[in-house]
Amino acid sequence: MLWWAPLGEDADVDPGFRGLDRCRRCRLIADAYGLSDPDRRRLMELAIGLNVRAWHTMKNRAETLGGGWQRMWSDGVGDKIKHRQTWLEQNAGSITTALIS
């Protein structure tokens, strides 16, 4: 769902995915994969947790491995991840409602 719904603001996603009904697309993806009701109810909590982990992982790799990881971090990937975090938190309720209704 992160990439195909996609999860995030229009300004942060590929131009071809802007303006899409993310709630509807999340529901279609969940239906296609046969997600159970309990999985649908905890999906956004998991997405938020994984996003937090992504920020820490990217930061650690930039600091310890350098190279491309440091370039991505210097180019603002940490800020992009935090921006997506805000979006996930703001939209978790409406996406969960779409997933279970």
Is 48 within 8 Å of 88 (Cβ atoms)? yes
Q: Where are the domains of the chain?
A: 10-100
- Output phi, psi for 55, to 5 deg: -60, -50
d(CA 35, CA 79): 31
Q: What is the pTM of this model?
A: 0.90
Measure Cα distances from 63 to 51, 56, 57, 73 in Å.
Answer: 19, 11, 10, 9
Read off the pLDDT of residues 7-60 as tens digits, 9 standing for 90 and up: 999 999 999 999 999 999 999 999 999 999 999 999 999 999 999 999 999 999
Distance between start and end Cα atoms, the chain: 18
